Structure 1
Amino acid sequence: MAAKVIAHRGVTHRRDGSAIRENTLEAFVRAMELGAEGIELDVRRSADDVLMIHHDAHISDGTVIGRTQSADLPEWMPTLADALEVCKDTWLNIEIKNMPSDPDYDANYGISVAVAGLIRAFDAAERVLVSSFDFASIKRIRETDPAIPIGWLIWGQADPAQIIGRSEGMVDAIHPHEMLVDSHLMSLARKAGLIVNTWTVNDPDRVLELHKMRVNAIVTDNVPMAIDVLYGLNGE
C-alpha cells in the first residue's frame, strides 16, 4: 500500500499557475481537487480565543496573532472551524504552534484544550491527527480527549532509540523530518506500534525511497509529483 499524500499547508498554485496563499481555504480546496489524501495545517489562538490557521506567530506587518482580536486579523486567514467544515471529507493533520520561544506561547496549554474541544464539537476525532513540536501540547490533547490521535513532530539531531523511547505508549504517531527517517528508525517504530508520517518531501526519488521503507504518510509541497510517483507503482 502506498503512503498517503498529505498537502503541506494546502496547495499553493491554481490551474493557471498563479499563486494561492498557504494555509487558506482556497489552498485546502485546491489540495482536495488534486487528490491529496490529507492536509497539514497550522493553528494558533487569537487574543479572543479563536483558533486561527497560520504558520508564524506574526503576520507580515508584525501583528502578533495571539495578541490580536480575531475580527482584526486579515479576512484571508481562516479559522480551524472553517477548515473542519470545508474539509469535512478529508483527513487533517492539525499542528499546534506553541513553542516557548513564540511571543504567543501558552504555558497553560489552553490552545490544546480549545483544539480538542473544537474537534469534539465537529465529531471529527476519526478524521484528524493533532501534532506539535511541543510534547506538552500534544500530551494535553491526550489528557483532554484520549480519542483524538496525536503525533510528535521531530526535527534536528535525534537518536532513533530516544525518539521511540519517549513516544512509545505516549503518542499514536511520530512525525520526523524526512532526513531523520531510515530503516533503523522505521524498524523501531514498527516494533513500538507507532505510525510514521514524515515531512516535507519534495524530491521524487526520496518519495519512492520512503514509500519502500513503508512510511504511513508523506507531507509534501508538491502533491501532483508525489501522487505521480506513488500511484505509478502498480500496487507495489
Structure 2
Amino acid sequence: MRADDGPKRPGLLRRIGRAFVMLFVIFGLVGPVLTVAIYRVVPPPITWLMVQRLFEGQGFHRKWVPLNAISPTLARSVIAAEDAKFCDHHGFDFEAMEKAMAHNERSKRIRGGSTISQQTAKNVFLWPGRSYVRKGLEAYFTVLIEVLWGKPRIMEVYLNSVEWGPGVYGAEAAAQKNFGVGADHLNSAQAARLAAILPSPLKWRAAAPGPYVQRRSGRITKAAGVVRREGGAECVL
C-alpha cells in the first residue's frame, strides 16, 4: 500500500455523497415538478392503476376530452359527492379528515377524507395502496398541482382519469359505456349516478343502480343543486 492511498478514500466518499445528493435533487425534487408542469398542458397518458387493471384483464376504455366538453352537472355532482369545499380549500380539507378519522375509529366501514385534489394526485402520479410513504408523496403532489395547475385543470384531469368501472376511465368513456351519450350530454340524474359509484366503481353500477346507489344518487342530485345555487363550482365552471 502506498503512503498516499489513505487520504483518497474520504475524497471518494465525498464524491459519491455529492452524486447521491444530485440524484435526489433531480429525481426527488426536479423530476416531480417537471412532470407536474408538463401535465399542466399534456394529458397524463396512463396511471399506475390503469396498468394494474390491464394486468388483471379488465381492458382499457378512455377518451380524453377538455373540461368544456363535459357537462357542468357532472363537475357539480362530483363536488357534491366527493369534496364540497373544492373551490375553497388549497388541496386539503382538514375538517373532513378529522371527521373521517373519528368515523373510522368507531365503524368498520372506512370513510375517506381526501379532497378531489388529493385523489387526483394519487390517481395520476402514485400507485394503489395505503402506506405512510405514499400518503406523504400524495401530499407533496397535491401541493404541486394546486400551485402549478389550479382548480380547472385539477378537475379536468380528475374527470378524465378517475376509474368508473372495470377498464373504464374518465367521463367520456363512462358516459358512453353507461348511457350511450357523450360526456357533454349527461343530464343531472346520469351525472349523479356516476358520482354515486365513485367510492366503489367496480362494485356499483351507474346504468343499472341498486337501491343504495339510487338513494345515494338522489342525495347527490339535491346536493348538486345546492352547489349550483351557492356557487360551489364557480372555480371550474
Fold conserved (TM > 0.5)?
A: no
**Larger strand proportion of the pair:** 1
Larger radius of gyration: 2
Higher relative contact order (CA 8 A, sep 6+): 2
* Structure-1-length-normalised TM-score: 0.26
**What is the TM-score of this pair, normalised by structure 2?**
0.26
Q: Counting helix residues as a fraction of each chain, which structure ranks higher? A: 2
